[in-house]
Copies of this chain bind each other. A is one copy, B any other.
Amino acid sequence: MNNAYVHGYHSRENIRLQDQANALVELLHFDTSYPAGSRVLEAGCGIGAQTVTLARNSPNALITSIDISADSIAQAKRNVEAAGIKNVQFRQADIFDLPFGRESFDHVFVCFVLEHLSLPVEALRTLKNLLKDGGTITVIEGDHGSAYFYPDSADAHKAIQCQVELQGRAGGNALIGRELYPILTRAGFSAIQVSPRMVYVDSGKPQLVEGFTKNTFTAMIEGVRDAALAAGIVEPRVFDRGIKDLYRTAESDGVFCYTFFKACALKA
């Protein structure tokens, strides 16, 4: 099973993922809260960027967070302890081979994970087996094809396409956000409700200009420069102009748009 990641395993990346989580917490998570005593599986917690919010919004739920990377789990534990959170247990485990019995959980939460998997529908089927009947799954994913901006720039789109191409070569799908409805359908879930969460940034929102346009999205694309050049996907000067043009959208007359997709569905 190819679970290779394009991003996520460097310490500067850890800081970026934390920044992203802080800027987007309200937009993505405000409407996820689980009842007291319910058992929740967070599948693919990474360094715990979402775990802290998940646990804070459901302080009396019993959360189990798993990740395939022992290093990420160790960092996630530190992040959760630093936040004073007590209702999360961690386990290192593969999403395709989880050490839990059928129908162990009331709810499953999956955030920024399916984009990295070559078999997202199979992953969802595996998670469905762990859910009790009537349990819910919540999935959040981005979609890099949802990025557009003013001033527009063909080079900026080419730079973004490098990330899409690299993630695809690693077995993932950077355009998976728009696909949540069909993949949840294929995995056998019902009552699927998809809610797009658009991030709209203009200079009237300086925190988002810094926190999203520059430090989250453009920094992420900038981070694939070496890999994109090594793979021969793009000419260096095209990529560099693209990055410059992405930063240009953070100036006073610039606008940047990106959409995350959040889906909730039932195991009927």
Contacts and interface: CB of A to CB of B under 8 A. Distances in A.
Report the interface size class on chain A: 20 to 34
A146 B181 contact: no
A255 interface: yes
Contacts of A196: 198, 200, 257
Interface string A196-228: 101010111000000000000000000000000
Q: Count copies of this chain in the complex.
A: 2
Interface string A160-186: 000000000000000100110110011
A193 B202 CA distance: 9
Interface stretch (A72-80, A95-103, A107-115, A148-156): A148-156
Interface of A: 143, 145-146, 148-150, 152, 175, 178-179, 181-182, 185-186, 192-196, 198, 200, 202-204, 253-255, 257, 259
Contacts of A255: 178-179, 181-182, 194
Contacts of A200: 194-196
A119 to B, nearest CB: 17
Contacts of A186: 253
B149 A148 contact: no
A188 to B, nearest CB: 14
Contacts of A148: 143, 145-146, 178
A48 to B, nearest CB: 30
B145 A182 contact: no
Contacts of A195: 200
A213 to B, nearest CB: 13
A182 B253 contact: yes
B257 A257 contact: no
Contacts of A179: 150, 255
Q: Considering residues A143, A179, A195, which has the most beta carbons from chain B within 10 angstroms of its beta carbon? A: A179
Contacts of A149: 178
Contact of A194 (B143, B194, B202, B253): B202
A179 B194 CA distance: 27
